[in-house]
Amino acid sequence: MAYDYDVLVIGMGPAGMAVSAMAAEMDLKVCGIESHRLGGECMNVGCIPSKALLRMAKTRNAVRLLDRMELETVSLPQVRNPFQRIQSDIHYINNSKTKRMFEKVDLVLQQGTASFVDPHTVAVGDFQEDGTAECTIIAKRIFIATGTQPAIPPFPGIDSVEVLTNNNLFSLDRIPESLVILGGGAIACEMAQAFSRLGSRCTMIIRGPNLLRGVDADAVKLLEDTFQQEGIEILRRQTIQQIMPTPEGGVKVLTEEGEVVEAEKLLVATGRKMDFSGLNLEKAGVKYDSTGIQVNPYLQTSQKHIFAVGDCNGYAQFSHAAMHQGMIALINTLMPHPLKQDFRQFVVPWTVFTEPQISHVGPSEEDLQAQKTAYETVQVRYEDYGAAIAEGVDIGFVKVLTNATGKLFAATVVGEGSGEMVNEWGLAIQRKLRMVDILFLQHSFPSMAFLNKRIAETWMMKRMKLSWLRAITRTLYRL
């Protein structure tokens, strides 16, 4: 078979961009297909715009705190339309930065959706009467990187109101006066704090007892306390009974527990869903189910020359995990079987970019308990660290799950800079380092990451309380 391309990538989000850029630099002939905008969800309606909005909100909140502290009399800045600035920045990034990365890649952008014709052939755009497509591409290897979409549950009345998701949230023309948010995950929490700090009255409605299900309880408690102080209302253990429009053009949400919430806008952040309806995976012989496209440890689908990377395989729905999988999958195409990399063997740190930030890597305590793994907890608090106090960022902690020999299982970092600090623990766990390795690494002072070293020092001080070790120390000292 004559191939048009060595590599064909379907979806140019984080995973697809990683594959395309690397493959092109390897001097392979590469084609990338994207039905929407280059950069996918992360660049255009996800990670990047959300973090920009959070930064604007943090700045406004800092001014508000200065006024409260009476350090000076300030007028709170009005942020009427941050979205115009965000869209302008995204346009600049896409056109002046991102596209340069793909000068060696043939891009098929905004020409329609991709669909398989057979295991090596993909059509783009609408099919003609004779059964041919506007664009047909034959490739030796194909990487599916189509991501996921926001899941909108079939709440009664949901079709009668305007629904915001991350897909359209950043296209608003102004900050709404009030916002009701369905969901308590990372996106819901980040946007609740951002919009609240930018002037919206925010109410969160969640099914469970707490935000961020499955996250360290101490971390969640700190975040919920912060939300309460900032005026974000959390309605817990609620079941949506009805959603309806208000005469003023807003939305009213009724719950079976008797709560009634009216707001100008409704944001639904209740999870993600797979959508392979247009791909015609059956024609390629690629197996999938509701949890994603099935892959083996090397990210190959049921067709060994077709890979599924990123959210679409359902393994770890984070942009950085998608990029990493793209890299691993491409490398695996070059390696003989003994040298192929199992993508599941790499740790996946993550961060919720609220204030305080919440970051984690490794299994949870519940996981370790279920596995009957013996562990101990070592924790240090930001409020006990002089630099954090002096800088006014003394809310948070570092908590590490380890054992008597210093084996590292997991780490949770909450507070200023946690998204940077957690990576050290991720590397240590992945490389099977131990607590002594952290102890003997010099950490820049007075950075927040110095708290990581304090964890190791605290662990060592606990070891020094052992009578047999103290006896050895006394003996060695007297020699």
- Residue 309 CA to residue 332 CA, distance in Å, equals 12
- At residue 165, the pLDDT reads 96
- At residue 81, the pLDDT reads 78
- At residue 64, the pLDDT reads 65
Tell me the whole-structure pTM to 2 decimals. Answer: 0.92
pLDDT, averaged per 10 consecutive residues of the chain (479 residues), comes to 92 96 96 92 90 92 64 56 88 84 92 94 79 83 96 96 96 95 98 97 98 97 98 98 96 98 98 93 96 97 98 96 98 94 97 98 96 97 97 96 97 98 98 98 97 97 77 73
| CATH placement of domain 158-271 | 3.50.50.60
CB 233, CB 204: distance < 8 Å: yes
What is the CATH topology of the domain spanning 356-467? Enolase-like; domain 1 (3.30.390)
Domains 158-271 and 356-467 share a fold: no
- Which CATH class, in words, describes the domain spanning 5-148+274-345? alpha beta
- Residue 147 CA to residue 164 CA, distance in Å, equals 19
- Residue 358 CA to residue 167 CA, distance in Å, equals 24
- At residue 71, the pLDDT reads 52
- At residue 469, the pLDDT reads 67
Task: Write down the H helix ranges in 9-150.
Answer: 14-25, 40-45, 47-69, 82-92
- Biggest CA–CA distance in the chain, Å, is 93
CB 162, CB 252: distance < 8 Å: no
Delimit the domains of the chain by residue range: 5-148+274-345, 158-271, 356-467
- Residue 288 CA to residue 295 CA, distance in Å, equals 9
- At residue 74, the pLDDT reads 54
